[in-house]
Structure 1
Amino acid sequence: MAEFDVDLFVIGGGSGGVRAARIAAGYGARVMIAEEYRMGGTCVIRGCVPKKLFVIGSRVHHEIEDAAGFGWSIPSVSFDWPTLVANKDKEIGRLEGIYTTNAEKAGVEVVKARAVIEDAHTLRLSNGRIVTAKYILVATGGTPNHGPAIPGIEHVISSNEAFHLPELPKRVVIQGGGYIALEFAGIFSGFGSDVTVIYRGDNILRGFDEDVRAHVRKEMEMAGITILTGCTIKSIEPHGKSFATHLSSGSSIAADKVMFAIGRHPNINGLGLEKAGVAVSAHHGGIVVDGFSRTSVPNIYAVGDVTNRINLTPVAIREGHAFADTVFGKRPVQVDHATIPTAVFSQPEVGTVGLTEAEARAQFSHVDIYKTDFRPIKSTMSGRDTRILMKLVVDAGSDRVVGCHIVGDAAAETIQAIAIAVRMKATKADFDATFALHPTAAEELVTMRTPTARYVREAAE
């Protein structure tokens, strides 16, 4: 008899866990995966995918408004929120089925149950089953923060609930200044809600390039979204079916829904990590892992958002694949977390890869900045008051393009291609030698010839 019931037990049926399970099974491992909610994880069920569907839907309103400038006369239109939610649920259900089917086709046993670690090799399932495993992989992702308890916190919704609201709220107050907050601000505003964003910092999108932060804020405010920085929500007071949100600044805002999007934390509660001796970071709350995603317990690994490294779905997938290659393929692989492209599907959209201007100036002695903002060709006919931002950050010493930042339509699609060049250490001369594709917005990336700013750091004496 085998020493263990399975070679690998994966806790969590999200992108990272499923990829690890499938690849490990492909190497001949006996694999079981447990998911207590729905296969697909945050990204598929209540994150990236439904969010992008909502973003696409909300942009239709802009397309209708822009159509008149191109000669289209569109009769009065109407929007039905329940139809959007129902169609989104149908698509998510389809994707969930694909995740389950693909895992099972690879030879993975999928169990719809909660799994809790009893010791380094034993797990207890919520259906009463006890399973022993040679290796355990924790891939339980993250869960929304609600911050400190304030009066009325029970009335707050997160992005989880926002996907299932029975009706579109007319007035929405969103606390937060990152990806999720700004994406939902654009979604609700696009569908016609009056939106106010509350953020404690001095400006939205902390950690992004300063020009990106300023440009996105200006564009969102011109679109009618109110952004209040330097304050927080102190209490939420119900008034019938609506709420009064009281701010630290002393003012109050009426809302039909109050949403908190102030970050996410690793989903580790109740997993039994302490029973096995798995170390958790006191600093960021994630499971502590090494370069191979191994925890403080040699046979227990963790990938994805539960480690709180870089919380992006493609990163979790890459980490899960690398884990399986390392442990079951006997081919050690460490994931390189440098130069990872990312997008914010706000309105306007953000695409970025590499270093910000501030990061480059701290790292290199000579930095050149190439920046342009311009009115896209579509707006010259539609009349919409919007501008695109494009920015290249160059290490002038080597001429290497170390950062690219775009704000505007198709920014995410563009930055995916630019990320290849940045990762391959393309130089500004390489960009300059590339033919422009006209007429496009992206041609600006290869036609900017004169630096808009140059920085030289004086050598320390």
Structure 2
Amino acid sequence: MSTYDYDLFVIGGGSGGVRAARVAAGDAGARVALAEEDRYGGTCVIRGCVPKKLMVFASEFTDAAEVGKAYGWNMTSGTFDWHSFRDHLNTELDRLEGVYRSLLKNSGVDTFDARAKLKDAHTVELSNGETKTAKTILVATGGRPVRPDLPNADLGIVSDDIFHLETLPKSILIIGGGYIACEFACILHGLGVEVTQYYRGAQILRGFDDEARGLIAEAMRDRGIELHTGTNIVQMALDGQVYTSSGPTASDAALGASAQQQDLMSNDDTAPEASPGRGGPIWVKATNGRERVFDMVLFATGRNPNTDDMGFEELGIEVGRRGEVVVDAFSKTAVDSVYAIGDVTNRVNLTPVAIREGMAFVETVFKDNPTAVDHDLIPSAIFTQPEMGTVGMSEEAARDQEEIEVYCTSFRPMRTAFAGKPDRVLMKLVVSVATRKVLGCHIVAPNAGEMIQLAGIAIKMGATKEDFDRTVAVHPTMSEEIVTMKTPMRTA
């Protein structure tokens, strides 16, 4: 008989942790427990993918009346009811959390609504004072959004806060140029918010294909989003106040006296406290010297793994520069009995990847089938407007590796072109000259996420350009262009 309370103890009730727990218990017959300090479902279900996608759907109705008129419908634009939508959204998230709890219960997993940390290689300590032992411990604590190291950054909100706003702001400044920043810029603009976005880099969506991200930036500006690249903020404060060594004082109407601006961002403890996003209009100064006032500021400047105060260092578990748990190909840490999966490892921070890692962990530890996770050629989508779907290498990365051909087309899609709208889409294949394999596929178009899933299967299988050419087009669709591009636009 085992000397441990459990065969497996999972710390974290997100998608990866829940999947690993219930499969280990249900399929492998292990005695499993799971601890979650917040809500079951984790970032994806509660404060990420799911509520964000529902907000995407809500924001896309903005153009319905205008497009509908071109098709003969007598439609008028209405107003968006944030409170109605938010209440419905919360009801749906409650339902999904209940589903996650039921899955664990029905699989025989013991659950603890408590924070857990490592006490030793086989023991977890819960915030309710209990300790539990397990032969194997799996860390799946995910990540969290971070604010920049900037005085008064607490005046802004982060992505987690969006879903709990009492009211939508009239205007918002979004700081960041990654997919979270760009998605929320499009969402909030579609819901009627005046959106300004600052990004310190030369172009948004760093790391993705240059041509694709350029088209998205152009589309965002065309829709009315005020996008400024090469721009960041250097100061922020509640509008109408400056912070000096003697405490808060009234500023002039423009908050513009240069001496006051120099003192504005001191770390003096006398500065008034404010809840994130609830401190009133916020004054900001940008790196280009421009001063603006916004109802709200959203920081979308990155995420860090949740590894603080987990007992890792004391146990000899290696933690990386950003706080990520360092693991091997089988998700094992430097301690043989402790594994980690998902965003806490900062490998590929996507929900389906965390689930795959959880399944591979169960195969390795409980089914005597060592399984390394394949992180190559993972399709992904960015839910901007228009969406981007991508799999494989960008043109820039591929040409640094070998000689390539680039097949690319950009055009106005039938649905919106008929309504006289200027929207454009992009279909792009990056092909190896030597092997003829398609190294990357990049789509910028409505529902690009739906298209890239199927393209991802072909590319993962090693399809060549000629395989694409042999495939008969589905007409009339946007996606048919993927199999009808016969002549490369360029070689590199």
Counterpart for residue 244 of structure 1: 283
SS in 1 for 2:132: strand
Provide the TM-score with structure 1 as the length reference: 0.97
Match of 1:288 in 2: 326
Matched, 1:452 2:489: yes
Structure 2 residue 357 is matched with structure 1 residue 319: yes
Per-residue Cα deviation, 1:16-57 (whole angstroms, up to 9, x for no partner): 101111111120111000000000000000000000000000
- 1:271 is matched with 310
Q: Give the equivalent residue in structure 2 for 1:221.
A: 221
Q: CA deviation at 1:75?
A: 3.4
Q: Which residue of 2 aligns with 1:258?
A: 297
Tell me the secondary structure at the aligned position of residue 218 of structure 2: helix
Q: What amino acid is aligned across from residue 12 of structure 1 in structure 2?
A: G
Runs of 4+ in 1 over 2 A off after TM superposition: none
Q: Which residue of 1 aligns with 2:39?
A: 38
Partner of 1:232: 232
Question: Could you list the per-position Cα deviations for residues 406-436 of structure 1 after superposition, in whole angstroms to 9, with x for gaps in the alignment?
Answer: 0010100000000000001101111111001
- In the alignment, which residue of structure 2 is the partner of 1:19? 19
Residue identity opposite 2:450 in structure 1: E
1:9-408 equivalence runs, <5 A = 9-25=9-25, 26-148=27-149, 150-239=150-239, 241-282=280-321, 284-364=322-402, 366-408=403-445
- Using the TM superposition, give the Cα deviation of residue 154 of structure 1 relative to its aligned residue in structure 2, in angstroms: 1.4
Q: Which residue of 2 aligns with 1:412?
A: 449
- Which segments of 5 or more consecutive residues in structure 2 lack a partner in the other structure? 241-279
What is the alpha-carbon distance in structure 1 between the residues aligned to residue 77 and residue 473 of structure 2?
Answer: 40
Q: Please tell me the residue identity of whatever aligns with 2:310.
A: L
Check the 8 A contact 1:23/1:325 in 2, yes or no. no
State the one-letter code of the partner of 2:363: D
* 115-124 or 203-212, which deviates more: 115-124
What is the SS of the residue equivalent to 1:85? Answer: helix
Q: Deviations over 1:259-302 (max 9, x none)?
A: 000110101111111232211013x4210000000001010000
Query: In structure 2, the residue corresponding to 1:104 is in which secondary structure?
Result: helix
- The whole-number CA distance in structure 2 between the counterparts of 1:255 and 1:303 is 39
Aligned residues of 2:417 and 2:423 also touching (Cα < 8 A):
no
For 2:274, the equivalent position in structure 1 comes to: none
Contact 1:151–1:234 (8 Å) recurs in 2: no
Q: Is the 8 A contact 1:373 1:389 kept in 2?
A: yes
Is 1:435 matched with 2:468?
A: no
Amino acid aligned to 1:77: G
Contact 1:431 1:445 in 2 (8 A): yes
Superposed displacement of residue 100, structure 1: 0.7
CA drift of 1:177 comes to 0.4
Q: Secondary structure at the match of 1:391?
A: strand
Residues of 1 paired with 2:337 and 2:435: CA distance?
Answer: 43
Q: Secondary structure at the match of 2:235?
A: strand
TM-score normalised by structure 2 residue count: 0.91
Point out where structure 1 has 5 or more consecutive residues left out of the alignment: 456-461
Work out whether residues 35 and 112 of structure 2, in 8 Å CA contact, stay in contact via their aligned partners in 1: yes
Q: Give deviations 1:65-89, integer Å, cap 9, x for gaps.
A: 2111111111351211011111110
* Letter of the 2:473 counterpart: A
- What amino acid maps onto 1:327 in structure 2? V
Task: Tell me, in whole angstroms, the C-alpha distance in 2 between the residues paired with 1:332 and 1:58.
Answer: 44
Question: 1:245 deviation in Å?
Answer: 1.5
Conserved? CA contact 1:117–1:275, under 8 Å: no
SS in 1 for 2:418: helix
CA distance in 1, matches of 2:339, 2:232: 37
CA contact (8 A) 1:355 1:402 kept: yes
- Code of the residue aligned with 2:348 in structure 1: it is I
| CA deviation map 1:364-394 (0-9, x unaligned) | 1x20000000000011222221100110000
Amino acid of the structure 2 residue aligned with 1:420: I
Q: Is the 1:19–1:320 contact (alpha carbons within 8 Å) kept by the matching residues of 2?
A: yes
**Cα distance in 1 between the residues matched to 2:417 and 2:46:** 39
1:254 CA displacement:
1.8
Name the SS of the counterpart of 2:457 in structure 1: helix
Q: Distance in 1 between matches of 2:293 and 2:229?
A: 17
| Cα distance in structure 1, aligned partners of 2:65 and 2:467 | 39
